[in-house]
Amino acid sequence: MNPIQSGRLVTQKVRRRLLLGLAGATLLLVCMAGAGYFTLQRAFDHSAHITQDTTRRIEISLKLQKLLQRAALPVHHYHIDRDPEQRMHFRMLAREIDATFREALAPHDGSRPRDFLALAGSWQQLQGEITALLALPDPNAMGLRQIHERIHGLDEKVRALSDRVGALHDADRARTQQQLADASRWNRTLTVAVTGAFLATVLSLMLGAAGVIHSQARLRELSIRDGLTGLFNRREFQAQLQRQLERARRQGGPCSVLLLDVDYFKTINDTYGHDIGDRVLQELSDLVTREVRRADLVARFGGEELVVLLPQTDKASALALGQRVRQAVASHQGFMAPDGQAFSITVSVGVASFPADAPREDALIRAADLAMYEAKRAGRNQVSHQPT
């Protein structure tokens, strides 16, 4: 074999080895990219499945909280107006709550129906107490103080049951966030393994991570917002109130609360329907938000009640702001009936301030609630406060 032939043979062997190596590397690259892609796809599908199941459970919990917050309203209306139709309204509400409990107890992916069994039992007891109060021919016959204490006790039980539902919701959200965090860590580990294999793997991770972040943000938003009005919910309000009062104690400053209740809201629902009632609450929420200051916090407290947290605000300033909100609501002509005709509403406002009226969060809310009821008894469309 001459040198030329020998050189050609070596070149062919080297070329063959390079081609085989390149083919092997390409095959390995494709296998790694494919395995990484499908593994990541399964991980992201799992994250999406977690989010979907959790969103369903959260929606059931939020619906149940919303209904439970309205459970004591017929008793309040019956106590104030002595309207026997409140019994029928409560029966309809109770059927809706029972249906929601059945939905919560029904087995489905990711469900934890045992968590709701004790709550369902507590609701049955509470339902019996409400039915007994509504069965009284004249609730005021036993004395205003006694009936007020019974209604207040009923309110506390309703709020406690709603808080238990909220606690389940918070625990569920915490479990989901841990699952999503574990899935996110696993996704990152896979990404490190296949980053050099294929650009699509990196891109899919970025899309998946964005989906996880979006899901976590959505879960956070669901947990602190009222589904109807978009305002903060009662649990978030109470958390913010606790922080503001701690700040006020440290700095030695005031803090106030406005509690607003729509006057004759039952009449609005009976006359125009519950859809219009919901729109009234939405429009009222926007109106109150526009009237208060940027630093103030507006939340839905339950039913037709809104609450406003006024940081670093004394009673005199809170009363002035309450009057401004009341006047703005009374003069607003943006509430529309189904036939397109405008109608107006009024609100009764209770004002309470720390430390003048109460030293603690629960006592401050209670003082505002009593002041609001005083405004109701005084003729509605008023701002009232407890004498210092």
Cα–Cα distance list, 52 to 29, 187, 346 (Å):
34, 19, 40
Contact 304, 288 (CB under 8 A): no
Q: Write out the H or E segment, with its range, that includes residue 17.
A: helix 3-69
When computed from its CA atoms, the radius of gyration of the chain, rounded to whole angstroms, is 30
For 198-260, the DSSP string reads: -HHHHHHHHHHHHHHHHHHHHHHHHHHB-TTT-SB-HHHHHHHHHHHHHHHHHHT--EEEEEE
| CA-CA-CA-CA torsion sign (232, 238, 239, 242) | positive
DSSP designation for 85: H
**CB burial of residue 28 (10 Å; 0-12, 13-18, 19+):** exposed
Catalytic residue among 96, 236, 304, 374: 304
3-state secondary structure at position 295: coil
Task: Quote the DSSP letter at residue 359.
Answer: S
Q: Which residues pair with 84 in a beta bridge?
A: none
246 in catalytic set: no
Residue 76: how many other CB atoms lie within 10 Å: 18
Which has the closest alpha carbon to 66: 227, 177, 183? Answer: 227
331-362 burial code (b ≥16 CB/10 A, e <16): eeeebeeeeeeeeebebbbbbbbbebbbeebe
- Please report which helix (H) or strand (E) contains residue 305, including its range: strand 305-311
User: Which residues belong to the active site?
Assistant: 304
